[in-house]
Amino acid sequence: MPAIKERALKVRPVPAEQEFRQTPPVAGRDAVLPEWLGADGNETPAHVKPQYDSVVVLGGGIGALSVAARLARSPAFEGRVVIAGKPPEQNRRLIGGLTLRARSLDYFAACLGVPRQSILERLYDGREAEARSNRQIAARVSRAKDGSYEIGPTGEWMSRWDHNGRALAYGVRNSHLAGVLHDFSQSLAITWSDAKPLSLGDCADLAPGKRPFVIKAEPMPLPGAGPMPSAPARFVAAAQLPFSDPHRVAKGVLQANTSIALARRRAGSMDGSVFYPLRDPLSPTARYYGIFYRIVKGGGALHKNAEIEIMKENLFGAAKAMGLDAVDPAETLGTALIPCSDWRPINDLTPGFLDLNALANNGSPIICGDGMLRAALASYAAAEALIAGVEPQAYLNRAMAKWKSRNRRIHYAMAPLSFFSDLMLRWSPGRSFHLLQDFGETWAGLE
């Protein structure tokens, strides 16, 4: 395990009275931040002048909130940021991601200008330790002839002890995280608009300035801005649920503060899964969340409902084998069929416009548990670029490149090379994950 470089751990002290206006430093080998940010990730040159005088953000999720917050904290854009979208609504249903790599907190903290611990306190109301994943184990899962699921031998592939004791990840409902980011951003000069712009011209009409920049932080295309997406060749099908853990200890698979990655090879490809410790104020009995997902081909051969049904069966079956019970599935079950996109950088450039959503989410969604991190990192890099007076797209392509190459590796391991992945999992589940996956501060971050 390579040691994290000492210089990556340096954190510059922030004067208390300016706490909210300062940006906590972001450093680390995964960051690949614009070069003007310097070695500690926090050096916006004082002499640069932004090219734009205002920003319109389309969206209302965690990406929109993060980029708007960072911009609104800079003197150049204070009072000149409009979000065209709906503020986050709380819903028990598990829509969007729940595995919050702890590293994401570094980027959210940098966008909001607050210490990462403040975000954890708001998210968990002092019970953060219960949502923490301190180690992750891996195993094969198989289905017996009687329909029951069996979890194979487990092996640890990542632990907090490899990262100076720092937690690896937290379980959080996506809309709860969005709600907390929204709460933090309330004290900033951000204007919300319920207008639904259909063109760059509509966006300009909403802007509180003459030279607006438009950031699309939602998946819907904006006609006239960037290329229209082509029909996706692949999708990721997924189902997820919160669980209580009445028989977890008796089953002896999952220990406290431990997450598990599971894989089931079926019909020439892998059903992937993770279960993570969770605290959710809207589902207080939940102790874990679990998800199953699979990369499926698009076109006529795709049977969406059938794929989702198998994901649900897997979810209930594997959870039972670990002693977990679904919490109010009628209200909490989330299912999705999300299009995959190219791994190539996005080079089509519309000056004054950025498709933040597309740049952050390139590749196969869900399979790496890093979508929220990517949204936060992309938001941070985009905002810093605008503040420094440069078009952000090239910097985002750079910032996201490592994440996309990891995504591609896991994609191949799950789909075309699943036979070999399965062999490796039989040989040694912990070691095989360790070889395939990334570790280091891309999980634990630099608190």
Q: How far is the CB of 360 from ligand FAD (least distance, A)?
A: 6
C-beta of residue 318 within 8 angstroms of C-beta of residue 310: no
Q: How far is the CB of 245 from ligand FAD (least distance, A)?
A: 19
Within residues 163-202, the interface with ligand FAD by CB under 6 A covers 174-175, 178
Report in angstroms the alpha-carbon separations of 141 from 138, 237, 434: 10, 18, 18
Within residues 222-251, the interface with ligand FAD by CB under 6 A covers 238, 240
- The residue (of 310 and 375) whose beta carbon lies closer to ligand FAD is 375
- The residue (of 304 and 426) whose beta carbon lies closer to ligand FAD is 304
How remote is the C-alpha of 282 from its chain's centroid? 21
Pairing of strands 212-216, 353-354: parallel
**85 binds ligand FAD per the rule CB under 6 A:** yes
Between CA 371 and CA 376 the distance in angstroms is 9
Within residues 256-285, the interface with ligand FAD by CB under 6 A covers none
**97 binds ligand FAD per the rule CB under 6 A:** yes
Length of the chain (residues): 447
Q: Which residue from 37, 324, 375, 436 is in contact with ligand FAD, where contact means CB under 6 A?
A: 375
Window of 82-90, 123-131, 314-322, 343-351 that interacts with ligand FAD by CB under 6 A: 82-90
C-beta of residue 57 within 8 angstroms of C-beta of residue 77: no
SS3 (DSSP) at 334: strand
- The residue (of 154 and 175) whose beta carbon lies closer to ligand FAD is 175
Within residues 200-219, the interface with ligand FAD by CB under 6 A covers 217-218
**373 binds ligand FAD per the rule CB under 6 A:** yes
Q: Which residue from 24, 28, 50, 88 is in contact with ligand FAD, where contact means CB under 6 A?
A: 88
Q: x/- binding map, residues 305-334, to ligand FAD, per CB under 6 A?
A: -----------------------------x
Between CA 424 and CA 414 the distance in angstroms is 12
**99 binds ligand FAD per the rule CB under 6 A:** yes
Report in angstroms the alpha-carbon separations of 293 from 156, 175, 411: 21, 20, 12
Between CA 304 and CA 170 the distance in angstroms is 30
Q: How far is the CB of 14 from ligand FAD (least distance, A)?
A: 26
C-beta of residue 217 within 8 angstroms of C-beta of residue 61: yes
Q: Which residues contact 336 (CB under 8 A, 6 or more apart)?
A: 95, 236, 237, 238, 239, 366
**304 binds ligand FAD per the rule CB under 6 A:** no
Q: Which residues contact 423 (CB under 8 A, 6 or more apart)?
A: none
Report in angstroms the alpha-carbon separations of 180 from 193, 420, 440: 19, 42, 26
- The residue (of 38 and 232) whose beta carbon lies closer to ligand FAD is 232
Q: How far is the CB of 382 from ligand FAD (least distance, A)?
A: 11
Between CA 68 and CA 265 the distance in angstroms is 42
Between CA 3 and CA 378 the distance in angstroms is 26
Q: How far is the CB of 354 from ligand FAD (least distance, A)?
A: 12
**86 binds ligand FAD per the rule CB under 6 A:** yes
**364 binds ligand FAD per the rule CB under 6 A:** no
Between CA 258 and CA 167 the distance in angstroms is 10
Q: How far is the CB of 418 from ligand FAD (least distance, A)?
A: 20
- The residue (of 22 and 403) whose beta carbon lies closer to ligand FAD is 403
Q: Which residue is nearest to ligand FAD (CB)?
A: 97
Query: Residue 401 — φ and ψ, nearest 5°?
Result: -55, -45
Among candidates 11, 14, 39, 42, which has minimal Cα distance to 383? 42
**111 binds ligand FAD per the rule CB under 6 A:** no
- The residue (of 14 and 137) whose beta carbon lies closer to ligand FAD is 137
Q: Which residue from 6, 35, 89, 348 is in contact with ligand FAD, where contact means CB under 6 A?
A: 89
C-beta of residue 381 within 8 angstroms of C-beta of residue 401: no
Question: Dihedral of the CA atoms 151, 291, 398, 85 (nearest 10)?
Answer: -170
219 DSSP assignment: S
Within residues 10-69, the interface with ligand FAD by CB under 6 A covers 59-64
Q: How far is the CB of 45 from ligand FAD (least distance, A)?
A: 28
**109 binds ligand FAD per the rule CB under 6 A:** no
Between CA 101 and CA 356 the distance in angstroms is 20
Between CA 71 and CA 75 the distance in angstroms is 8
Window of 93-101, 191-199, 301-309, 429-437 that interacts with ligand FAD by CB under 6 A: 93-101
Q: x/- binding map, residues 404-433, to ligand FAD, per CB under 6 A?
A: ------------------------------
> Given the rule CB under 6 A, which residues bind ligand FAD?
59-64, 85-86, 88-89, 96-99, 174-175, 178, 217-218, 238, 240, 291, 334, 336, 338, 357, 360-361, 365-366, 369-373, 375
